[in-house]
Structure 1
Amino acid sequence: MEIKLGLSLPRDKISIPLVRRICTQSLSALGVSQSCIDDVELALTEACANVLLHALADDDYEVSVGVDNQVAVIEVVDHGGGFNATEILDGEGIRAAAAALADGDGDGANPSPHPIGSAVGPIETLPEQGRGILLMRALMDSVRFDAVEGPHRGTRVHLEKLLTWNDRSPAVRLGSTHPERGPWSGGG
């Protein structure tokens, strides 16, 4: 079983709930576990929110969602002129975020016992820039940022998640989950 969805959306905040609903309902119909759907939904929300913050106001953006074998592959592409992923991912923002997570009380000695986003965790100590990237990386199995070259420069966010299934999943019942196959392999 293979599913591919492609959406072209206006850069408007109302598009994010629409994308989430289409993606989550598709995954739910396949019988993907709710915890897995929740992870994908939040990572997708972060990627789309970045489009609203950083892409050009006049441009649409594209979202593609594919499920093949046991992997969901999601891409969000905008035409905002792109960004320096190395600077964001390897720069001070991520280093500061990692330090804040490792030191819950700020004294430089004690690791935080609380995960990102917990009610008492250090989320307020994280720098604004890079939080969504950390979140996407925590929720997904693979996160990649690529520059889109050409006349409509931009950024492609590539997300992958190994799916877990409900016991009554149509995909499992139909024998459509093959652990030995990789995503988009076309084999059977």
Structure 2
Amino acid sequence: MRVSMTMSLPRQPSTATHARRVLTTLLSLTDAGEDTRANLAVLISEACSNAVIHADTDTAVDITISIDDHTCVLEVGNRGNTPDHSTLDAGLPAPLTVGGRGLPLIAALADTATFVAGPPDRVLLRITKHLTEVRSA
């Protein structure tokens, strides 16, 4: 089985919720276990939230979800700039710092996560998670 969906959502806080609902619906077609589903829900929520916060004003958040028998690939893109000197495996900020935890969380939960090179005014984050855990019947 292979299923793929692409959507362009407004740069609003509700974008993360809508994307998570679509992902949950698509994952219901798979045998992915609950922990894997929960991790993917966090991954898409964090990626979309970051896109909403950091995207250029009056632009959309573009989301692609691709699922096959073994892998889920999430791509979240927006108009803006790739974070300077930001790596997905960066350490957490000081405990009282507001923000800065999304990328380290994505790095911890994803099998792979990277910013994909593209046009200078576009940011694309590609996240891969293997669907190795099978839900019980």
TM-score by length of 1: 0.65
1:23 aligns to 2:19 (yes or no): no
Q: Note the alpha carbon deviations across 1:88-139, whole angstroms, 9 max, x for none.
A: 228xx934x3xx8xxxxxxxxxxxxxxxxxxxxxxx6275454111101111
Q: Which amino acid aligns with 2:21?
A: R
Q: Is there any run of 5+ residues in structure 2 with no aligned partner, and where?
A: none
Q: Is there any run of 5+ residues in structure 1 with no aligned partner, and where?
A: 101-123, 169-188
| Partner Cα separation in structure 1 for residue 99 and residue 13 of structure 2 | 19
TM-score by length of 2: 0.88
In the TM superposition, structure 1's runs of 4+ consecutive aligned residues that sit over 6 Å from their partners are none
Change beyond 3 A, Cα 1:88–1:130: farther
Residue 24 of structure 1, CA deviation: 1.0
| Partner Cα separation in structure 2 for residue 146 and residue 65 of structure 1 | 16
Higher helix share goes to which structure?
1
Spell out the pairing of 1:118-133 with structure 2 (5 A cutoff): 125=95, 127-128=97-98, 130-133=100-103
Change beyond 3 A, Cα 1:146–1:17: same
SS at match of 2:29: helix
Q: Which residue does the alignment assign to 2:8? A: 8
Q: Which residue does the alignment assign to 1:185? A: none
Residue 20 of structure 1, CA deviation: 0.3
Residue 69 of structure 1, CA deviation: 2.9
Q: Which residue does the alignment assign to 1:156? A: 124
Which structure would you say has the larger Rg? 1
Residue 167 of structure 1, CA deviation: 3.7
Identity in percent: 25
Residue 81 of structure 1, CA deviation: 3.0
Q: Which amino acid aligns with 1:27?
A: L
Higher strand share goes to which structure?
2
CA contact (8 A) 2:82 2:115 kept: no
**Alignment RMSD, CA only?**
2.2
